[in-house]
Amino acid sequence: MERRLTAILAVDMAGYSRLMEQNEEDIVTRQKVHRRELFDPQIASRAGRIVKTTGDGMLVEFASAQDAVRCAINIQLAMADREGASPEERRILYRLGINLGDVLFEDGDIFGDGVNVASRLEGLAKPGGICISDIVHQAVADKIKVPFRDMGNQRVKNISRPIRVWQWAPDASLPSPELPKAAQQQQVQFATAPDGVQIAWASIGQGMPVLKAPNWLNHLEYEWRSPIWHPWLVRLARLCRLVRFDQRGNGLSDWGVEAVSEEAMTGDMSTVAAAAGLSRFALLGISQGCSFSIRYAVENPEQVTCLVLLGGFLRGRLKRTQPDQKHLYEVGTMMIRDGWGSTNPIFRHFFTTTFMPDAQPEMAA
Pairwise pLDDT comparison (360 vs 209), residue with the higher score: 209
Q: Rounded to 5 degrees, what angle do the CA atoms 315, 294, 253 make?
A: 95
Domains and CATH numbers, the chain: 2-168 (3.30.70.1230), 181-314 (3.40.50.1820)
The pLDDT assigned to 273 comes to 97
Reported as a single tens digit per residue, the pLDDT across 311-344 is 887 766 666 677 777 777 788 778 777 776 677 7
Q: For residue 224, which of 212, 214, 232 has the smallest C-alpha distance?
A: 232
Reported as a single tens digit per residue, the pLDDT across 217-275 is 789 998 888 877 888 888 888 888 999 999 999 899 998 888 889 899 999 999 999 99
Band of the pLDDT at 186, cuts 50, 70, 90?
confident
Reported as a single tens digit per residue, the pLDDT across 21-41 is 999 999 999 999 999 999 999
The pLDDT assigned to 169 comes to 86
Axis-axis angle for helices 345-355, 323-339 (nearest 10):
130
Predicted TM-score of the model (pTM): 0.51
Mean pLDDT of the chain: 87
Cα gap 365→351, rounded to integer Å: 12
Contact (CB, 8 A) for 92 and 55: no
Contact (CB, 8 A) for 118 and 160: no
The pLDDT assigned to 183 comes to 55
Q: What DSSP string describes 21-42? A: HHHHHHHHHHHHHHIIIIIHHH
Pairwise pLDDT comparison (2 vs 133), residue with the higher score: 133
Band of the pLDDT at 141, cuts 50, 70, 90?
confident
The pLDDT assigned to 174 comes to 44
